[in-house]
Amino acid sequence: MPPKHIPERSCVACRESKPKRELVRVVRISDQLIEVDLTGKKNGRGAYLCPAV
């Protein structure tokens, strides 16, 4: 059985590519509202950050 695919994303601050689960997702809900998305399922434009940033 082949290994399972692990989704990767890039941190917008350091540009390092890491598994999606290791990064924190922030979402733009509206023009003036940004939230941390702990579930990874919120609607809106998202970006990923390393937890150390």
For residue 2, is it within any domain?
A: no
Percent residues over pLDDT 70 in the chain? 100
| Token pair belonging to 36 | 């941390």
The single-letter code of the amino acid at 10 is S
Task: Provide the whole-model pTM.
Answer: 0.83
pLDDT value of residue 1: 73
Q: Is residue 34 part of a domain?
A: yes
Q: What pLDDT does residue 5 have?
A: 95
Show the domain range for 22. 8-49
The answer to the question of residue 31 being in a domain is yes
Average pLDDT over residues 19-27: 96
| Spatial distance between the Cα atoms of 11 and 17, rounded to a whole number of angstroms | 7
Percentages of the chain per state (helix, strand, coil), in multiples of 5: 5, 45, 50
In a domain, 3, yes or no: no
Domains of the chain: total: 1
Q: Quick one: pLDDT at residue 2? A: 80
